[in-house]
Chain A
């Protein structure tokens, strides 16, 4: 426990996300604002789903553990659906705002493109989701204690950290795919995002059998990543150019005067 576990798990869970934030978002104020707004939307969706869950718990039989677990599962599914609904709502809001700004400014280009917004809002959702899942656990890991002293799994902290990492990145990929699908009116893709979110959440019902929950989650993460890459306009050619530092657009973009 203590410092080693705390720092290790924190960096596992938030490392990539913070790196993404620092390198791609922190410089641009508009993106930061939309990130925080995305986090806010996720928060509101969580609030609503907690409200429903809370009410259902109050009117249920508090003694029966099976019923409570059932209600919790119901809460999880509801929460996932609400999150995706709010993602859609955020998309609509952003479209409207962008259109408004466009007509107002009579410019050809918007200050921030819908793809950037997709990325940023997905990451915002991811940050909030990851933070809410894991911050309390991390806070507990600083103090003294023994994990799994009553026979539970020893890998609680580590698996939580890895799961959080997967969730944050997944939210980002889902955001990109979702917005792109909404733009192109491909509703099957939207449904696929929702279903994959449901699958990932339902896989966690199998914890503490971490193998069966973490491995498929990472497989889905990888697949969603590829899908998001392609829907964001990436291709093998782009990738090659980028990796061999021959991508002129990218190089030029990074050297423009500030």
Chain B
């Protein structure tokens, strides 16, 4: 459950998962569209451990209770275990999103059909005769797309700096409205067409209305955590499907590469928009409106009031935000302002929705082109390993990190190499039924 005011009391008894001192457990790589989690230094480490059961802890009391060495040893072991736990907490939604996208691509042919329709962000057509011209067009498309994203991110940072919160909130609500109603209506229509089901408009109306309304509530307000996570996964999948359909072939690959580079720059360089966003938010030490982040955890607090609002939910996706892909408002942990008494929290780990979207675009494109499952599997494993490595780096560096570069790099390498090298090899082996 997302923390709601009425349930605070019941959380007292809960044996929370021990919050680890090391932020790798919580902060996470921001990325296109999502907010970089606040970096460690600004967080007061809460190492409150229940003397009770659960988790392998022998460290009682607050951070300084036991000898430092024991605390360190425990920490390391727990860090590893909790680090692993949080890696899995991200593997599962990423896998689910990819599964939804791949299942749709393989069954509903609409999303893998070639179409001449393009998004306005990629105006150059790829139906040209020469390879050079096609390459040029895809690079131009990429430049336009990335500049749109950069502009939107900077706009967001500026709006945030000048405290135009209402504007941003309105923008996000409008976008998630479109995603939850219109795109899901289209999706439902295509699914019905594929399976040749005749469904009347009133039924579809009721379904879409319910789906959308509950989605808006869950994402922007309060709702059960798992429902909210499910909605976020679904809208990421929808967005990824839109990209897969409307981005021209080569442009899609170049955009994936360029966006990883942009992500790297935006988050790590001192003047990067995302970094500025995080730092501004930290300076102000205020909770921001919920952003485009998937959060795997809940905040349980004892006797807290409003700061909760910022923390929970707030994973909405936003079409423009997705396309700018670097939206990210950092989520400030309200915990910093909490009193020192027992605070049980599982900060979990956060991953931006843009990450979900671009991972799924990569795997979906692998599934769409060629119809070969080996390539899809290879990309899937490569992305998961990239995610794992990113989380490892997060544990080491303890600051906001971009989640796209490593995974997308691995994904791209494995896509092209599996498609061109491994596929012929495996095909030949299968034809002769040789096994390696």
Residue contact A30 to B84, C-beta cutoff 8 Å:
yes
Q: Digitize B398-417: 1 where CB-to-A-CB distance is under 8 Å, 0 elsewhere.
A: 00000000000000001001
Given contacts A47-B417, A101-B80, contact A107 B433 (CB under 8 A): no
Instruction: Say what secondary structure dominates the interface of chain B.
Output: helix
Q: Tell me if A146 is interfacial: C-beta within 8 Å of chain B.
A: no
What residue of chain A has the Cβ atom nearest to residue B89's Cβ? A29
B133 within 8 Å of A (CB atoms): no
Q: Kindly report which residue of chain A lies nearest to residue B423, judged by CB atoms.
A: A50
Residues of A within 8 A of B425 (CB): 46, 49-50, 53-54, 75
A183-214: which have CB < 8 Å to B?
200-201, 204-205, 207-208
Interface string of B417-436 (1 = CB under 8 A from A): 11011101111111011111
A72 at the interface (CB under 8 A from B): yes
Task: Tell me whether A36 and B421 are in contact in the complex, defined as CB-CB below 8 angstroms, given that A72-B429, A83-B436, A104-B76 are known contacts.
Answer: no
Question: Does B328 interact with chain A (Cβ within 8 Å)?
Answer: no
Give A139 to B414 CA distance when docked, in angstroms: 21
Q: A32-B88, A131-B377 are in contact. Are A201 and B385 (CB under 8 A)?
A: no
Complex Cα spacing A129 to B384, Å: 17
> Which residues on the B side are within 8 Å of A148 (C-beta)?
none
Nearest neighbor of A51 in chain B, beta-carbon distance = B421
Partner of B372, one of A128, A136, A159, A200: A136
B231 CB, nearest partner CB in chain A, Å: 25
**A163-B85 CB under 8 A given contacts A43-B381, A47-B422:** no
Binding site for A on B (CB under 8 A): 53-54, 69, 72-73, 76-77, 80-81, 84-85, 87-88, 91, 372-374, 377-378, 381-382, 384-385, 388, 414, 417-418, 420-422, 424-430, 432-436
Q: Which residues of B contact A68 (CB under 8 A)?
A: 428
**A121, B389: Cα distance in complex, Å:** 17
**Nearest A residue to B55, CB-CB:** A258
Shortest C-beta distance, A165 to chain B (Å), equals 11
C-alpha gap A201/B436 in the complex (Å):
6
**Which residues of A (133-162) have their CB < 8 Å from a CB of B?**
133, 135-137, 139, 156, 159-160
A57–B91 alpha-carbon span in the complex (Å): 38
Contact, CB under 8 Å: A36 / B377: no
Q: Point out the residue from B85, B388, B422 that lies within 8 Å of A50, measured CB to CB.
A: B422
Any chain B CB within 8 A of the CB of A257? yes
- Of chain B, the residue at the smallest CB distance from A44 is B414
In chain A, positions 100-118 with a C-beta closer than 8 Å to chain B are 101, 104-107, 111
Counting from the closest, the 6 A-B pairs by CB-CB distance are A105-B76, A207-B433, A29-B84, A29-B88, A50-B425, A50-B421
Residue of B nearest to A73 (CB): B434
Residues A106 and B434 in contact, CB atoms below 8 Å apart: no
Given contact pairs A50-B425, A163-B435, A133 touches B77 in the complex (Cβ within 8 A): no
Known: A29-B87, A29-B88, A51-B421. Contact between A204 and B433, CB under 8 A?
Answer: yes
Question: What is the total of A-B residue contacts with beta carbons within 8 Å?
Answer: 133
Report Cα–Cα, A166/B86, bound state, in Å: 34
Give min CB distance, B272 to chain A, whole Å: 30
Contact B81 A160 (CB under 8 A): no
Q: Which residue of B lies closest to A207 (CB)?
A: B433
Given the interface contacts A47-B418, A47-B422, A111-B81, does A133 sit within 8 Å of B435 by beta carbon?
yes
CA distance A211 to B436 in the complex (A): 18
In the docked arrangement, what's the CA distance between A137 and B54, Å? 46
- Contact indicator B424/A156 (Cβ below 8 Å): no
**Majority-rule SS of A interface residues:** helix
Q: List residues of chain B with CB within 8 A of the CB of A159.
A: 433
Nearest CB of chain A from residue B413's CB, rounded to whole Å: 9
User: Is A94 located at the chain interface by the 8 A CB criterion?
Assistant: no
Alpha-carbon gap, A43 to B434, bound state (A) = 17
A76 vs B435: C-alpha distance in the bound complex, in angstroms? Answer: 8
Residue of A nearest to B88 (CB): A29
A167 within 8 A of B: yes
Choose among A30, A43, A83, A129 the residue that contacts B80 (Cβ–Cβ < 8 A): A30
Q: Contacts A36-B385, A47-B422, A131-B377 hold; do A257 and B53 have CB atoms under 8 A apart? A: yes
A230 CB-CB contact with B under 8 Å = no
* A32 neighbours in B (Cβ, 8 Å): 84, 88, 91
**A204 is contacted by which of B88, B418, B426, B435 (Cβ under 8 Å)?**
B435
Give A31's nearest chain B residue, CB to CB. Answer: B84
Give the residue of A37, A47, A80, A201 whose beta carbon is less than 8 angstroms from that of B421.
A47
A33–B426 CB distance below 8 A = no
Query: In this complex, what residue of A is CB-closest to B418?
Result: A47
30 contacts across the A-B interface (CB closer than 8 A): A29-B87, A32-B88, A33-B84, A37-B385, A43-B378, A43-B381, A43-B382, A46-B436, A47-B414, A47-B418, A47-B422, A50-B424, A54-B421, A73-B434, A75-B425, A75-B429, A104-B76, A105-B76, A131-B377, A132-B374, A133-B435, A133-B436, A136-B372, A159-B433, A163-B433, A204-B434, A204-B435, A207-B433, A208-B433, A258-B54
Report if A69 contacts B (CB, 8 A).
Answer: yes
Q: A36-B381, A132-B377 are in contact. Are A167 and B426 (CB under 8 A)?
A: no
Chain B hits for A107, CB < 8 A: 73, 76-77
